[in-house]
Chains A and B, each alone.
Chain A
Amino acid sequence: MDVVELSRFQFASTSIFHFFFVSLTVGLAFLIAVMETIAYVRSDRREVYGKMTNFFGHLFLINFAVGVVTGIVQEFQFGMNWSEYSDFVGNIFGVPLALEVLMAFFLESTFIGLWWFGKDRLRPWMRLASIWLVAVGTQISAFWIVLANAWMHHPVGYEVVDGQARLTDFAAVVFNYKAWLYFAHVQGSAWVVAAFFVLGISAYHLLRRQDTDVYSRSLHIGLVFAAIGTVFSVVSGHTEAQVAREDQPMKFAAMEAQWDTSESPAPWSLFAVIDQEKRENPFSIELPYVGSILAYNSLEGRYEGINQIEEQFDAEYGEGDYTPPVAWVYWSFRIMVAIGSLLLATAFLGLFLWWRRRRGLESTRWYLKALVLFIPLPWIANFTGWIVTEMGRQPFMVYGELTVTEGVSPNSAGEVLAGLIGLWAVYLALIGLDVYLLTVTARAGIHRRPEAQLVAAPAPDYEGTGFQEYEKRN
């Protein structure tokens, strides 16, 4: 592999590992803030909600640190591996990145400490404000980084002078419609990750009839978030696919593995064997009309095929290979859509069970078992979603302006490979540890006897709510 391939692989692995932790952090921060708010407002139920916040807060903290440290790699690698890219876009791309740090990272990392360690020092309303600042910080952070990413897909508000992109209109960058669409999608899916995390763990303990007073309530909170999150992801995802047809037609065609322009009404391929070398699908199962519905919300309409777009790109950007890895994009898209639909149905089924009769939800054991099994699904949907969006824009780094090959640093391949090996070793260890500790802690649940804790410390005093600790001390 040459330095470009290695750097691409390095960037992709860092982003995917980073996002593994961060998607949970972004969603869970919000859920915990809501739990703590209920604990604050409903003083009659303070103990139950206090336990809930401490328990999920503990899980949050295990995951949070890894999100922070992998984020440093995420930021440094623009300079380390993509210095030519940094030269080209620095005028524009650096601004949202700097805004992310100044508006969000400091907020999160300072107030998470205040929230967790300050239980006996801060007034209850200050603690509540701290967790809300953390929650808001994670969303701001997601917004700016997604905005930066969206600019690479749909560059706006700039002109190219002497081989550098120069910012002409920052408002256009901030109000880039694609940024808001991506943000809605990323945000929705982060809520889905966190909601199904809370749902699965709550279901696990409800199945064992442990602390049902706490876990049936967290199940309800999780369901509300799951419903909002899935609807948000599905609606924004559908819109995203449609705008991709307009401004990234190659990505859309690859999502559908459509080599030649479709007929109207366009069918939708459910299963295809893809041969990228011959540029054809030897086998495909197609559903009539669905392609047009997906692309236009209409029963008619055609869209362009990869071969036709390739010709246009050759004319526009010069001869070259502009076809992304079609099978990857095609299959990732299908996995993501399938999981998304399944999760949407699950969330609404849960709401239905909850509404049908009291205790109906908590006693439907097959549903609870499914929730435990579904914990990893949102992550898989996330990964495949990122594969669609990032592989689908190959070979461009900044769409229509800069290819990946042009953006790479003048490093030696050996140097990058050595770094890659080191990073992978640490990433694998971290992800293993994170999953292990989350599992152990989640299964241990809210324990009463300290000696039963496998988990020693920052294991919170699950019985205390924080509010009482402040009163005890002051």
Chain B
Amino acid sequence: MDLVTLWFWLIALTFTLYFFLEGFDFGVDLLRPMLARTEPEERALTGTIGPFWDGNEVWVIAAAGLMFSTFPVWYGAVFSGMYPLFVLILLALLLRGVSFEYRNQVDSARWRAFWDWMSFGGSLVPSFLWGVIMAKLIEGLPVDGDGRVEGGFAAMFSPFSLVGGATTLLLFMLHGANFLLLRLHTDTVLYDRARRAALRWGALATVAIVAFVVMGYVTEDLFEDFGVVPWAFPVAAFLTLASIWLALSRRRDTLAFTMSGLTVLFATVTVFIALFTRGEVLPSTLDPDFGLTLRETASQHYTLVLMTWVGAIFLPLIIGYQIWNYYVFRERVRPDEGALNHGY
């Protein structure tokens, strides 16, 4: 495997980790208005992701930063080409990020309610738009002969990209509910509500992912060049998704969370396999010849060598201390006490 291929898959890995990690903290925020009825419950739910969300969010900055350094042309084309979507994601993330910090700074119910809506909306918008962006990557953008992308807001939305958005949104909700099953004390009402939410949203997520795969197959020729082995990924995504229902009904919480995590992983990898097998990281909707290929968007060899050293040193280190972070805060949260004494 040469360095260009290696870095393509490392970027795929970074995006996958981002969706895996921030997926569940988005999910918790999205479920909170439905699950929490009282103030201690609100705070317990926020407390489940309190020490983690910030570290999770950095993965998207890493994904963008690594893309910039290893595939600058791809990075520039994707980010400028989907300008309106990224602006919306940024606005949402800005408001969401501060909502955690500011929610409890002023002792007023209206103030708290305002920030609860900010964190809900701040999770809803990116959860949906990341799916739209992934779908648009497969579908392609209007790339012209000079590799420039003509953006435009209306061009961002097609039936396929809307289904893509719904898929990530529902999948993150399911993933968030499964995460809550690991983080909440099992003898609380909140835990039971989270379980019911997982079953309900899991069913909808299954419908959405099936629709996405079928549409991808029919209208986008998503799997046209897939070999037998790559086909395993969308199939595996579906199987893991289906197994969640089984795990939930047998009250195997860890298994359910692992499975929703794997679904996120297989789904994201499917998108990147599609880009890889076509050899075009950004197809053009204007003319098939204008699409950006992996090689022509990549950095020079020297930069890739440098980045490989950097990645080899720091990525394992980061994953290591983040795992330790989760280990330190492994204790389950309960609304009546604990976990919230200092913070959020």
Interface residues of A (CB under 8 A from B): 61-62, 64-66, 68-73, 75-76, 78-87, 89-95, 97-103, 105-107, 109-114, 116-122, 166-168, 170, 409-412, 415-416, 418-419, 422-423, 426, 430, 433, 437, 440-441, 453-461
Contacts and interface: CB of A to CB of B under 8 A. Distances in A.
Nearest to A453: B107
B54 A76 contact: no
Interface in B319-333: 321-322, 325, 328-329
B325 A91 contact: no
Given A87-B73, A106-B318, A114-B51, A167 B341 contact: no
B80 interface: yes
Interface residues of B, number: 74
Interface stretch (B147-155, B177-185, B201-209): B147-155
A117 B151 contact: no
B61 A101 contact: yes
Given A97-B68, A100-B65, A433-B98, A409 B80 contact: yes
Contacts of B93: 69, 72
B105 A62 contact: yes
Contacts of B66: 98, 101
B72 A94 contact: yes
B212 interface: no
Given A68-B97, A76-B90, A80-B80, A117 B51 contact: yes
B51 A99 contact: no
B300 A101 contact: no
B64 A76 contact: yes
Task: Determine the main DSSP class of A at the interface with B.
Answer: helix
Interface stretch (B158-166, B186-194, B301-309): B301-309
Q: Which 10 A-B residue pairs are closest in the complex by CB-CB distance?
A: A90-B72, A79-B79, A94-B69, A83-B76, A409-B80, A69-B97, A86-B76, A94-B68, A83-B80, A457-B104
7 contacts: A68-B57, A93-B68, A166-B302, A167-B306, A418-B84, A418-B87, A455-B107
A437 B86 CA distance: 29
Task: Determine the main DSSP class of B at the interface with A.
Answer: helix
B51 A101 contact: no
A91 B98 contact: no
Contact of A83 (B51, B69, B79, B153): B79
A392 to B, nearest CB: 26
B83 A90 contact: no
Nearest to B311: A102
B30 to A, nearest CB: 19
B100 interface: yes
Contacts of A112: 54
Nearest to B313: A102
A168 B301 CA distance: 11
B310 interface: yes
B183 to A, nearest CB: 13
B54 A68 contact: yes
Contacts of A458: 101, 104-105, 342-344
Given A113-B50, A167-B302, A94 B70 contact: yes
B101 A62 contact: yes
Contacts, number: 256
Given A83-B149, A409-B80, A460-B342, 12 more contacts: A72-B61, A76-B64, A79-B75, A85-B76, A97-B68, A109-B57, A110-B55, A118-B329, A419-B83, A423-B91, A430-B94, A461-B341
Nearest to B56: A109
B98 A66 contact: yes
Given A113-B55, A113-B325, A454 B302 contact: no
A270 B130 CA distance: 54
Contact of B84 (A85, A166, A410, A419): A419
B303 A92 contact: yes
Nearest to A410: B148
B95 interface: yes
Given A68-B97, A92-B303, A106 B58 contact: yes
B293 interface: no
Contacts of B148: 83, 410
A81 B80 contact: yes
Given A79-B64, A456-B106, A426 B79 contact: no
A426 B94 contact: yes
B94 A109 contact: no
Contacts of B328: 114, 118, 121-122
A106 B302 CA distance: 25
A194 to B, nearest CB: 18
Contacts of B325: 110, 113-114
Contact of B106 (A76, A102, A418, A455): A455
A409 B76 contact: yes
Given A65-B97, A412-B152, A430-B94, A461 B342 contact: yes
B106 A454 contact: yes
Contacts of B300: 91, 166-167
Contacts of A69: 93-94, 96-98
Given A83-B76, A97-B68, A457-B340, A91 B314 contact: no
